[in-house]
Amino acid sequence: MFCGCRVRKNSLIRTQLPLIPELVKVLTKRFGHGHFTSFGRRITNPKSLFANYSTRTSSSIPHQYKIVFIGNDSFSLSSLIELTKLLSPENVSVVVASENNIVGKYAKKHNNKIYLWNDFKTPEFGDKLSVEGYSFDFGVVASFGYLIPARVINRFPLGILNIHGSLLPRWRGASPIAHSIMFGDPETGISIMKIAPHRFDVGPVLHTKKVPLDPHIREPDLRNLLADLGAGALIEVVKNLPNFLNNPIYQDERLATKAPKLVPEMADVDWTSKTAVDVYRLYLALYGTLKLKTTFNGRKVDLDEIELPLFIKTDGKNINYDSKRMNSEVSLDELPPESVPGQIVCIRNVLLVRCCDPTWVVVKKVKLGVKWMNATDFKNGFLSKGKMPKNVERKFEYIISTPILKVNQAKS
């Protein structure tokens, strides 16, 4: 179904990337004038469907666009704010999972029309919108978390744009920002793509923006940076939408990598297979979502405030770390000449844990049970003489089997 009419499978209209002049010709030839509708809106002239979509480059603001924005969180909000400024609230309807999330609250405050996703996605609701005369040109989705069905995509003559937090086809999936940090990408960015039905993040890319990835950045900070970058990129696309729609870049499936949803098992640290850099990146990637976990004498332990010691200057990919953001309190020659993965050493109240290569990582906070401890408290409470049975190694251990991160999903 397109523009209110059924079309053949081989029709140009089904490509979802129509060249506008050719599309107008097809509609005029097949239906004549005044014989089809666009989402409940009767069109008396096929050219009027694209009256606001000039194919020449233009920086003019397309006030006449009617769109639906679909989003749930703070990453989404940046784009909604900029779209509302550009097009005005009456031209930007909002779809949310709940009116009480940050996007729903903003929409209420600024008088955007709000739909709930559980209603909006149904075929009956689409029919209701058409009967009531509501018409939209295209949709925008950002960090929504739900697969958009084909019946919803087909309601929009120009399709639905997605603001994705990676440089596609790298890191398709629910957590691209965390994975770009976890695997040490030298750069990341935003992809504005046109969504396709049935699968996440596989549609053609219309626009990208790149930024270097700070090797010390935490996921929430990178998320905020990319949210602003994505909002700016989206506005560039909307201001010149026909040009971007007519120049798509199709994704190379050979370069695709997956960024699955973050789950608790990802936070388990295997000291026998991870370097200090791996552990540090994992901490940065999961920051604000999950605490790193290990065990000590059979007890579950949470780890926080992870740092790299200054004597680790670069990793295997020659990424330089900022010495001002590294721990300089311990030198390499103070560490024991022989050690095993997970071994704990406390030097001048700095807690270090041996990783696999061998490298060492600094852990500034440890939690057993409900109590968070600094290095000194942990040393006095659990590592000091008399606190541990004889012949028991002072080390953290990895017990829970976690296959998720043992296989590198990135292609180096």
List, for residues 7-30, the tens digit of each pLDDT value.
333 332 333 444 445 444 434 443
Round to whole Å and give the CA distance between 273 and 38.
57
> For residue 382, what pLDDT is reported?
86
- Residue 200 CA to residue 145 CA, distance in Å, equals 10
Please check whether residue 214 is in contact with residue 41, taking contact to mean a CB–CB distance below 8 angstroms. Answer: no
Is a pLDDT exceeding 80 seen at residue 231? yes
Q: For strand 114-116 and strand 92-96, is the pairing parallel, antiparallel, or unpaired? A: parallel
- Furthest-apart CA pair in the chain: how many Å? 92
Q: Are the C-beta atoms of 4 and 38 separated by less than 8 Å?
A: yes
Whole-number Å distance between alpha carbons of 345 and 360: 10
CB atoms within 10 A of CB 236: 16
For residue 33, give both structure tokens. Answer: 């004038």
Mean pLDDT of the chain: 83
Q: How confident is the model at residue 187 (pLDDT cuts 50, 70, 90)?
A: very high
CB 269 within 8 A of CB 279: yes
161: Cβ–Cβ under 8 A, 6 or more apart, which residues?
138, 139, 140, 141, 192, 193, 194, 195, 206, 234, 237
Per-residue confidence (pLDDT) for residue 315, from 0 to 100: 52
Q: Where are the beta strands (DSSP E) in 233-332?
A: 258-259, 292-296, 299-307
Q: Spell out where 175-281 has E strands.
A: 187-194, 205-212, 258-259
Contact criterion met (CB below 8 Å) for 205 and 192? yes
pLDDT at 362 over 80: yes
CA dihedral 34, 40, 46, 51 (to 10 degrees): 130
> For the segment 367-398, what is each residue's pLDDT rounded down to a tens digit?
998 889 999 999 888 887 555 554 446 889 98
Q: How far apart are CA 232 and CA 329, in angstroms?
A: 42
| Cβ contacts of 385 within 8 Å, gap of 6 or more | none
Q: What is the mean pLDDT of residues 231-249?
A: 96
CA distance 380 to 390: 16
Cβ–Cβ under 8 Å, residues 215 and 307: no
pLDDT value at residue 211: 98
Interval 97-148: pLDDT, tens:
999 999 999 999 999 999 999 999 999 998 888 888 778 999 999 999 889 9
CA dist., res. 279 & res. 281, Å (int) = 5
Query: Going by C-beta distance under 8 Å and a sequence separation of 6 or more, which residues neighbour residue 272?
Result: 341, 342, 356, 398
Give the pLDDT band of residue 245 (cuts 50, 70, 90): very high
Tell how strand 160-164 and strand 138-142 pair up. parallel
CA distance 193 to 203: 6
Strands (E), 195-298: 205-212, 258-259, 292-296
What does the block give as tokens for 302? 């949470």
176 to 83, 181, 222, 242, 298: CA distances (angstroms): 23, 9, 11, 28, 33
Q: Which of 37-46, 161-170, 330-339, 365-374 has the highest mean pLDDT?
A: 161-170
Q: How far apart are CA 344 and CA 395, in angstroms?
A: 5
